[in-house]
Chains A and B, each alone.
Chain A
């Protein structure tokens, strides 16, 4: 089956897997980092680790300051009661989406090329969610009472207020995080086993041994593994859609011009995937180089992702147009002002226009196949798109809040150094976690790749692979 789907899909396309790359080679390449610590430009790794690590420390410091002194340390005010914390939250959640999408959807849709990128994408999801999870708690006036959003029998005989979107938000995110984690880990188990078997030192063997949960590659294992993996994929797929839809309700259920809109759920999900794929590219391209994985992560992957960005870019543009059109069509003075006056001409107009440039103009590059395959272009464009998506959340949140119904309450929002530090810090934390992942975890699904290799380059390697598994 997959033979056809993969190869004959589009003849001129680059192959999903470099020809002549056999199972052994795959293991060599993918497991190089975790087992032999062979991150060849070592210095580079340490440099990045230092950079992002210090970012993570900055985050820790500024979060501590915020918790000790109060969120007055931020620039928030009345009317702009939500700002960076929520922007960052939505941004990270969005980024987190691509991982599960790639793993779950593409698996269900039988897109075999995902095999070489899904691990990295899933890791990205987990780390993005770690960041995203931080902000809803941090932005509370009294974070130590965050557990009041949980439904449990209190001494006060009070329950959360379910008409609000926030308790559902909490539920959605925690569910999503749990499933993603399981999905990621489950997918890793066979590779961890392989790592265990091929690890050079006893310690590493022991550690990977524990993590492998006693995987022996028995047929029964593979059977259950496939079933559960598919089940989780089926479970995760709807979550990809639901989570950001619920997040979008944090805004859509209000009556604030600029938030009060029915298109928010799809609009947010698209935006999320958009930023997610951009982030995947940003991670893949350097990894591909550093770890010499051009064979595993081929131009085919880059091109596919580039195409996705192009499509998503248009979907975003469509959303923006719809949003503004409805604002005008409503005939409501407040809606019209918010969407047609405040955004394009208000004090934050710059943000709005830069956002449009980043999100709608940038992807047009990918009409050209050459650019779709050019790493620098893809990398740069992805960066721009990530910035653009952050600005989009800024536009939605700050630009809507700072001028709503009564001109008497209009007031500008100016971020403080703490706001900026927390944003930079969260990026630092993400980077740090990802670097650790590269170093200690098989960064691609070895087992799946070997299957793929088997399907693509025929049987000869079968025996080899088998014995490798037995060893």
Chain B
């Protein structure tokens, strides 16, 4: 009676057995790695905007404070976007000219808002409050990155829950003087290891890890 399988099937079988075992390990590990990557978290993702030529880089170069346009950041949950008329005073001279301003002109003419695309988004069940962070010495840069080096803003942080908790469990390491919250490229005057805890005491900042701190 002839052999059912040629001899070379033996190593093949062994390889398959080994591969199967490997897959069992590798698949979940790979998945866990993948969901932490930018393509999934959206880190680094940007969005096309109606005013394509808008540049944060340019505006910050003119020493315009973040809060000049994002006025809500200090007093409300939402940082907010500037009303169309905010653009007018500065841009008056170049007003009528310039194709890049079409959307702004349109908005003023029709009294319809400019529809910007959201870049930094947390899920609907997360209730983030800008005011409390800004007033406790968490810099814009800490979450939004070097906006002064961006033209169109892009998502600087992964914005995952783990990322939030990293700071909520130990806020001190991210605190800066309130006077410097909007500063880009901030360097602590003294080592953060000692400055952080001091600021935390001064601003009554403590770890907040109750679920309802963010989820309500």
A residues with a Cβ closer than 8 A to B are 152-158, 196, 205-206, 209, 214, 471
Contact = CB atoms under 8 A, between A and B. Distances in A.
A154 B28 CA distance: 12
Interface in B104-141: none
Main secondary structure of the interface of A (DSSP, over half): loop
Contact of B10 (A156, A158, A196, A214): A214
Contacts of A471: 1
Contacts, number: 26
B160 interface: yes
B4 A205 contact: yes
Contacts of A155: 35-36, 41, 160-162
Contacts of B28: 152
Given A155-B36, A214-B10, A214-B13, A209 B4 contact: yes
B161 A156 contact: yes
B162 A156 contact: yes
Most B Cβ at <10 Å: residue of A155, A156, A205, A209: A155
**Interchain residue pairs A-B with the least CB separation, the first 4:** A156-B161, A157-B162, A155-B160, A209-B4
A264 B76 CA distance: 54
Interface string B9-45: 0100100000000000000100010011000010000
B5 interface: yes
Contacts of A158: 161
B64 interface: no
Contact of A156 (B1, B13, B160): B160
B165 interface: yes
Contacts of A157: 161-162, 165
Nearest to A150: B28
Nearest to B13: A214
Contacts of B5: 206, 209
A206 B161 contact: no
A214 B7 CA distance: 11
Nearest to B31: A152
B9 to A, nearest CB: 9
A205 B10 CA distance: 17
Interface in B138-165: 160-162, 165
B161 A153 contact: no
A170 to B, nearest CB: 15
Contacts of A209: 4-5
Contacts of B160: 155-156
A133 B32 CA distance: 24
A206 B2 CA distance: 12
A260 B83 CA distance: 62
11 contacts: A152-B28, A155-B35, A155-B160, A155-B161, A155-B162, A156-B161, A156-B162, A157-B161, A206-B4, A206-B5, A471-B1
Interface in B30-86: 32, 35-36, 41
A206 B160 CA distance: 51
Contacts of B36: 155
A154 B161 CA distance: 9
A347 to B, nearest CB: 38
Given A154-B162, A155-B160, 11 more contacts: A152-B28, A153-B32, A155-B36, A155-B41, A156-B160, A157-B161, A157-B162, A196-B4, A205-B4, A206-B4, A209-B4
Nearest to B35: A155
B37 to A, nearest CB: 11
A414 B10 CA distance: 58
A152 B165 contact: no
Contacts of A196: 4
Contacts of B162: 154-157
Nearest to A155: B160
A217 to B, nearest CB: 15
A207 B162 CA distance: 49
